[in-house]
Structure 1
């Protein structure tokens, strides 16, 4: 009997952790990205040391999956972190809501107001994900994002330039339910970024080597990781989490997201914001990595 009670208690504690504690453990990872992608520096514990060597800092959010179980107030912690880290630009790689047919519309105003508070002096860019398309929800999602100050890219590209950097960002339509196009104009920007919700879609892109950095989401990193089991999702069967060097010039980063789908729980995959500190072009030949930064080869 005591063994049964002990097992029930452990199960209850694990359930509390999965449903309440881990979904609230917002983590941050900072990468210093050089034009040469063969080695990427994880500078999470040494961000200040790279401020003078960075031309622009991008923050990536993905897979928020707002629903009646995951309300807009969950953005509060994200906003607080972004106000502290002060990225130049915020990029959202899809799945704003979990299912439009079940969305509580009385929360729409609150969602727009929360999204408006996300700080990004150089702009907020977004693409759509497969869940945004469910039950024709993509019209609603686009409108919410635009009201909140996001530029939504659907097979579009946009150019940014200031005294520090120039970059072109291409945003693909969702690969599963949208109509992605793989033809874009080449530009003379220093950095070329590609945004796609499903990371496996890069295999369909004939000129992927033209991009320095590809940002994706969708996988949730499996959302619930067990020693003997990790779920893989159509669209992220090959690229599931972390960094991948897909060509000599192209780095793919798969963000494991913030919200949840199917089950309102996470285990072994805490919500994450990923920051990318792009190297100043004139520093490329002289950088020496300090001991406090860890060198990370690409691959999960």
Structure 2
């Protein structure tokens, strides 16, 4: 396997601390599989290593983590503190996650039509040593699927069958099952009877100092011909963290009492077609107090905020 060192270098802390920090790992990061990340630095012995992953902190120079498939990227931060000098340095790596589980239409490349029988299959990539998934749970738009008269579960729940799909059956479908003793949520399938339907998943209300993810979903499969662009008609999102990777947008808001509009445009230049949608998000809440900040795991406030600002301005 190849050694991945997907690293954003950032020298921070007390001037002259001089410790460079790097995060590295071996092979792909895959949902259902554990990966060990190593944080290395030029800091002198007895330095303290602290990881920040999804608002959870872990001490030590290594971190072992098994993704559950709910994200396709995560931001992993390692901070090194020299207790003798009080100096610290930090770096953030954006980790891309492969998901061997997906929802696919069957037969492949079937174009969904109203009132024409359709199968959605909980499919697992055959690479690796995973066993066949069994008895998955199905979700539509984030809620557990409730079977109706025109729906059936077949093949140990691996297939969600529609006798005669209705307009109300349109939505974003996912399946969840156990892979290597870890519950994994699959990549999703947007069932739409309009091939150029576009929607944005994510909350309508957000709170300060929390990281949120918004995903632009379209039946237009992303490739060289089909692209996704984000527009901000009401102004650029204000926050301590912001990133865009293809059709995924991540944002940590910092201004309460405001509204943010996200517009996603899916375009196929070769076909001369495009579609767009806009989602309005309300920002609520008050800034974290000192005691509340401690609940994020005990990192010094300056380390956390500097790390986010360094990534935001990179």
TM (norm. structure 1) is 0.28
Higher helix share: 1
- Pick the structure with greater CA Rg: 2
Identify which of structures 1 and 2 has the higher relative contact order when contacts are C-alpha pairs closer than 8 Å and 6+ apart.
1
- Provide TM-score, normalisation by structure 2: 0.27
